[in-house]
Chains A and B, each alone.
Chain A
Amino acid sequence: MRGEFPALHQSVYEDTPLVYLDNAATTQKPQVVLDRMARYYAHENSNVHRGVHKLSQDATDAFEEARQSVADLINAPSSDQVIFTRGCTESLNLVAQTFARPQLGPDDTVVVTHMEHHSNIVPWQMACEATGATLKVWPIHDDGTLDMEAGRQLLAEETFLLAMGHVSNALGTIHPVASIIDTAHAHGVPVVIDGAQSMAHLPVDVQALDADFYAFSGHKMFGPTGIGVLYGKYDLLDGLPPYHGGGDMIDEVSFDGTTYADLPHRLEAGTPHIAGVIGLGAAARFVRELDHEAVHAHEEDVLQYAHEQLAAIDGLRLVGTAPEKTSVCSFVFDDIHPYDAGTILDRLGLAVRTGHHCTQPLMERLDLPGTIRASFALYNTRQDVDRLVEGLDRVQTMFG
């Protein structure tokens, strides 16, 4: 598996072999994705949906095939329900601006959890500010799980919409989204799921979840940057007004008025990130073809091992100890600043993330300036954890 990811095989700072533990920020790309994108630029490059010529036909076919691959991966009923965006952030903004904002009023409430990524907070804040609606926060427990009782109460009140992550990027908590969506629907509340952190780790079936919208980024699931997806239920997507105006999204344009194209093109103005879409299609097939049981067992083993090894370190505290987690270990030292630890780990070839992880409200709730976060992917091993533990030992020697 590691052999398929060229970026893993390099040294940093002259001759220190890299250990990449920042997968929640972005994953590395397998050779099949790189090759597919290179092939597009080398042999198929041309604009899509427009040309009558052979190259444009080929590029359009590859582009729409990629849409089908993504639809297959998440079990969307139709590829028309897969909208390409620049990333998870744009997908969430799209829903906030075209679904929420036109319907929200001063008496309405949007609910987000206390552990959302800023990308799943700020778009809702903006929609609420523009309409006078209220943003309410679903509280959490100290271990990084949701306060279910409080959530049920919020959903039972007059709530217009619930927006929540499937998996927390800062703590790794896997939320029970299927049952939460059930409860929300019982109260007539539609649910937007931020799936940025789930795609590389969990099988996602949008129909089984009954999610109304599901957003994610290509680059966190072994695909390229600059491309993401918004899935939505057909009727909901079909009811959305256009988001951006321009080429590709129209049916007919005249100065007396313009009519718009059907889904999915209506929500995809302008020349899309064609290479990105085609690369994402390759990533979707890569993920779909994985032996999911084996990958899950391996990731679970590395996570458990990391938990044990880290918990045994004096002066280190794990942050986020929910029973259901993906491959994220966030932790702090009693008396070492995360930034100091991260700087030394970096010099030792260990790529971790330090800071607030774009979850400032969560950090404030946990009363932390930030954490050190090691996030694993399917190619990480117990040896990587050993290197991390060695590195932390060095950190403690230097700052102890």
Chain B
Amino acid sequence: MADASSTIDERARAIVDDFSLFDDWIGRYEYLIEIGKKLPPMDDALKTDATRIHGCQSKVWIHTARDRDRMTMQGDSDAMITKGLAGLLIRVLDDQPPEAVREADLSFIDDIGMREHLSSTRNNGLHSMIEQIRTRAARLAESAEPASDSAVSSSNA
């Protein structure tokens, strides 16, 4: 899991450094796939309509929950590239204050040569994942209540 003491920017910079070791797209994609494979497994009970991210050709779920003043995340996808993209976001954003997640600068995705995935028309869900995570972060930031994205997932969380 991510180191809770590092900031979003620090983690993003570490990822950019990792990706800069590859000089071609094949290496970068292989590394992205590795990141997906290293994602901690997501409990199937959390893969519900409430956690499903729509707008992708593959199935993607992101579950968010509050842990004191932090927002925690789990994710999965049935496609490996999409899972890698979810893994990138989780590496950077998991266990961070929801206020910081809401405001996070995610331009590192551009810097690691994955810009083509950022477009909202790409059908890969990265754009929708980011929107959803930000929406949920905003909701958590605004409510003092312990919150989660749905009744089903919180009871399982």
Contacts and interface: CB of A to CB of B under 8 A. Distances in A.
Contact of A337 (B25, B30, B78): B78
A369 interface: yes
A399 interface: yes
Contact of A398 (B33, B58, B59, B82): B33
B125 to A, nearest CB: 9
12 contacts: A337-B78, A338-B57, A339-B123, A340-B82, A344-B29, A347-B25, A347-B29, A354-B57, A394-B26, A398-B29, A399-B33, A399-B80
A13 B57 CA distance: 22
B4 interface: no
B25 A340 contact: no
A399 B81 CA distance: 10
A338 B56 CA distance: 12
Nearest to A394: B26
A361 interface: no
Given A355-B57, A398-B33, A399-B33, A339 B25 contact: no
Contacts of B25: 13, 347
B79 interface: yes
Contact of B81 (A340, A369, A370): A340
Given A347-B25, A355-B57, A370-B57, A339 B124 contact: yes
A308 to B, nearest CB: 28
Given A13-B25, A399-B80, A339 B58 contact: yes
Interface residues of A, number: 16
A13 B24 CA distance: 12
A343 interface: yes
Contacts of A370: 57
A338 B81 CA distance: 11
B19 to A, nearest CB: 15
User: Which of A339, A342, A355, A398 lies at the interface centre, i.e. has the most chain B CB atoms within 10 A of its CB?
Assistant: A339
Given A13-B25, A347-B25, A340 B79 contact: yes
Contact of A369 (B30, B78, B80, B124): B78
A338 B79 CA distance: 8
Given A355-B57, A370-B57, A339 B81 contact: yes
Nearest to B30: A398
Contacts of A369: 58-59, 78
Contacts of A344: 29
Interface of A: 13, 337-340, 342-344, 347, 354-355, 369-370, 394, 398-399
A343 B81 contact: yes
Nearest to B78: A337
A232 B57 CA distance: 37
A233 to B, nearest CB: 40
Contacts of B56: 339
Nearest to B117: A343
Contacts of B78: 337, 369
B33 A337 contact: no
Interface in B59-102: 59, 78-82
A337 B29 contact: no
Task: Pick the 5 closest A-B CB pairs, nearest first.
Answer: A337-B79, A339-B57, A339-B79, A339-B58, A355-B57
User: Which of B33, B58, B78, B79 lies at the interface centre, i.e. has the most chain A CB atoms within 10 A of its CB?
Assistant: B79
Contact of A339 (B26, B33, B82): B82
B64 to A, nearest CB: 23
Given A355-B57, A394-B26, 18 more contacts: A338-B57, A339-B56, A339-B57, A339-B58, A339-B81, A340-B58, A340-B79, A340-B80, A340-B81, A347-B25, A347-B29, A354-B57, A369-B59, A369-B78, A370-B57, A398-B26, A398-B33, A399-B80
A88 to B, nearest CB: 22
Contacts of B57: 338-339, 342, 354-355, 370
A282 to B, nearest CB: 30
B11 to A, nearest CB: 25
Interface in B6-59: 25-26, 29-30, 33, 56-59
A339 B125 CA distance: 11
B33 A343 contact: no
A347 B123 CA distance: 16
A370 B124 CA distance: 14
Nearest to A13: B25
Contacts of A13: 25
A186 B80 CA distance: 52
B58 A343 contact: no
Contacts of B82: 339-340
A369 B77 CA distance: 13
A337 B25 CA distance: 20
Interface in B111-126: 123-124
A399 B80 CA distance: 8
